[in-house]
A and B are shown apart, each in its own frame.
Chain A
Amino acid sequence: MDFAAFGSALVTGAGLGCMYGLVALGYYVTYATSRTVNFAQGVPLMLGAVLVFAFGNHLHWPAWAAMLVAVAICAAFGMLVERTAVRPFVKRGSESWLMATIAVGLIIENLVLFTFGRDPRGLRSPLTDIGFDLGGLRITALQVLIPLAGLAITAVLSWVVRSSRLGRELRAVAQNPATAQLMAIDPSRIISLSYAVSGAFAGVAGILIAPLYTVSAGMGTMFGIKAFAAAILGGIGGAWSVMLGGIALGLAEALIVAWVGSTYAQLIAFVLVIVVLAVRPIGLFGRAVALKV
């Protein structure tokens, strides 16, 4: 493998990995506050891309307005999932939220199928036309922006969780909702907020990836699954471990393709994930928590 092929795989893997990581951060924030996740996390990713396409191409909105409204709708979708598919079941002590989140995702995906159509569409971005050459390797502005955005969002989230008042409330709810309530913290509000943030993260990922990929109702499914694998691989206990898990998965996929070819890339990548989890069940970057008895 020459430098161009290796460098190309690194750029591709880092970009893809940060997308997995960004979607996986959504799993992390809801898991941290409520020990639940939105298994339809691929849907807000798809919604972000589809809405920006629709607002830009059909309503001719400026790009910034299309992106802002799309992310806001994705956040609202996250809150809707929590309200309709998670909270009622958690209240009853049931684990059925797992199936319910998948069901809500399928409903929304089908609604998009009927309205947007099944035909994949192309979303152009000026950021794919700007770029620079590095050692025979062409890198576009979007390929630089994606990892930067992923890392910046992770850094902000990590800071918020560790150092802000909101973060303290979030951690209080995660540790003991009942006690948090005694401290005038509303766990329902915090959990709802975490689902909104989760949806927004996926929406941002969808908007960023759309110009490199195609926009379609089914585009989020694969990302949702791989992001969950990334969250588990990295260790779902922290923002950075989740993001690093995503980057590790993305790099593994791209490097395997560059090294041995594409035929068995998915197979090898997921075998590696299983092997890593067998050796290190808390994930590559997770920290074991000692239980006091």
Chain B
Amino acid sequence: MSHASYAIRIRTLGVAIAACLLTPLAMAQDIKVGLVAALTGQSAQSGEAITRGLTIAIDQINARGGLLGRKVVLVRRDDESSPPKGVAAARELISSEKVSAVFGGIDTPVSLAIVPIANQSKMPFISVWAAGTGITVNGANPNYVFRVSAQDDLVDVALIRYASTRFGARKPGLVLVNNAWGESNDKGLRAAAAAAKVELAGVEKIEMNDVDVTPQLARLRSAGADTLILVANAAPGAQMMKSRERMGWKVPVVSHWGISGGRFDELVGATAGDAHFVQTYSFFATPNETGKMVMAELMSRYGVKGPADVMAPVGTANAYDAMRLLGLAIERARSTDGDMIRKAMEDLDQYAGLIKTYKRPFSPTDHEGLAPEDYVMVQYDGPRIVPVK
């Protein structure tokens, strides 16, 4: 071997070693944000929709130089809609990946399980779908949990009000999934009905794997239910709709938004459009400047042809705004320290977002970014989610 070729090899080796050493250094300088959501399973579409919203926001932030001069990187973990898996994923993101904030997915039970870890670790945790009241109203002080999404208690008021005004409901029956999310809405809907002086025909629980919920519906029909208020994710919600169809019961259905997190239209079939449900954003509404830009990104990156093609739209919309708000907070805090970010979140000023123009979206006592006036009622038209006609 000649001296020249030996020197080239040594230099090549040196460059390779330097690259290996510098790559983790570069990675260490990135600002990591975590996502713990259902990326597989019944609610996989919700996880994908959230990922799209976060990715578009992060890429825009990075295109403008990142945050504090550092690149923002998304680290995703699949909770499979399982609280133990969500807790393990959150712990791993906090301790191993050293993320600066964690976003949560569609499942209230998973988010409720992560809340204590977030508060103990002083880790900002932002719910961008799960609506359980106890996620943000968790009794912790200081509270590191924020939400850019609907909140069950507020949605429950909106659902009762919508059932009364749209369908003239005097005696609605509740159909709730038998888990922590259903429990959260059980209390909220009872309180909302009492406040509105509306008598409930009854409260029935459905399981995630119920084959037939006809007996539950028959009980509600016997009790005189004139509207059904549904709180369930896509698969159990679809079982309720199919049982209703089999019974030939054309009772109006007003639903929380869990049914938009899967293939509800395919699972239910022709009567999917009978369910009117709540969303925080509709891509069919006249878009603001941010809306036009996000739609353009969805079309160019994900082959979306138009508003009708946007799957699980609230996941994308909430996640996009939540990431932009987090970015503003990190810039304001000039730090990625959890406590500094929390204080900055509570002190944000104004941001012209996708869903609305946020004006002081959070405060030390209010961690809800959205309010009932931000909700819109929609329905399925085939696979499309469109505003109620």
Contacts and interface: CB of A to CB of B under 8 A. Distances in A.
A31 interface: no
A158 interface: no
A248 to B, nearest CB: 16
A120 B263 contact: yes
A122 B219 CA distance: 26
Interface of B: 40-42, 44-45, 178, 204-207, 209, 211-219, 221-222, 234-235, 238-239, 242, 245-249, 262-263, 266-269
Given A118-B41, A213-B239, A214-B267, A5 B221 contact: yes
A119 B262 contact: yes
B45 A119 contact: yes
Contacts of A1: 219, 222
Contact of B266 (A122, A133, A209): A122
B216 A262 contact: yes
Given A121-B266, A122-B269, A262-B207, A257 B216 contact: yes
Interface of A: 1-2, 4-5, 8-9, 11-12, 15-16, 19, 117-122, 124, 128, 131, 133, 137-138, 140, 143, 209, 212-214, 216, 219, 222, 254-255, 257-258, 261-263, 266
Main secondary structure of the interface of B (DSSP, over half): helix
25 contacts: A5-B218, A8-B214, A9-B218, A11-B214, A12-B214, A12-B215, A15-B212, A16-B211, A119-B44, A119-B45, A119-B262, A120-B235, A122-B267, A122-B268, A138-B246, A138-B247, A138-B249, A209-B211, A212-B211, A214-B235, A254-B212, A257-B219, A258-B218, A261-B204, A262-B216
B212 A212 contact: yes
B207 A118 contact: no
Given A12-B212, A119-B42, A120-B267, A262 B222 contact: no
B178 A262 contact: yes
List 8 A-B pairs, minimum CB-CB distance, nearest first: A138-B248, A5-B218, A257-B215, A122-B267, A8-B218, A258-B215, A122-B266, A118-B40
Contacts, number: 107
B263 A5 contact: no
B247 A8 contact: yes
B11 to A, nearest CB: 45
B206 A262 contact: yes
Contacts of A11: 214
A124 to B, nearest CB: 6
A96 B219 CA distance: 46
A9 B242 CA distance: 15
Most buried by B among A9, A133, A258, A262: A262
B222 A4 contact: yes
Contacts of A133: 248
A261 B219 contact: yes
Given A12-B215, A118-B42, A138-B248, 4 more contacts: A122-B263, A219-B209, A257-B215, A258-B215
A161 B87 CA distance: 53
A15 B178 CA distance: 23
B251 to A, nearest CB: 13
Contacts of A138: 246-249
Nearest to A256: B215
A118 B42 CA distance: 7
Contacts of A121: 263, 266-267
B53 to A, nearest CB: 20
Contacts of A219: 209
B24 to A, nearest CB: 32
A24 to B, nearest CB: 16
Contacts of A262: 178, 204-207, 213, 215-216
Contacts of B205: 261-263
Nearest to B265: A122
Contact of B44 (A16, A118, A122): A118
B267 A4 contact: no
Contact of A5 (B42, B212, B215, B245): B215
Contacts of B219: 1, 5, 257-258, 261
Contacts of A213: 211, 239
A292 B267 CA distance: 56
Contact of B238 (A122, A255, A257, A258): A122
Most buried by B among A12, A121, A131, A222: A12
B388 to A, nearest CB: 23
B209 A222 contact: yes
A124 B269 contact: yes
Contacts of B214: 8-9, 11-12
Contacts of B178: 262-263
Contacts of A8: 214-215, 217-218, 247
A266 B269 CA distance: 28
Given A121-B263, A122-B238, A262-B178, A143 B246 contact: yes
B349 to A, nearest CB: 41
Contacts of A214: 235, 238-239, 267
A4 B218 contact: yes
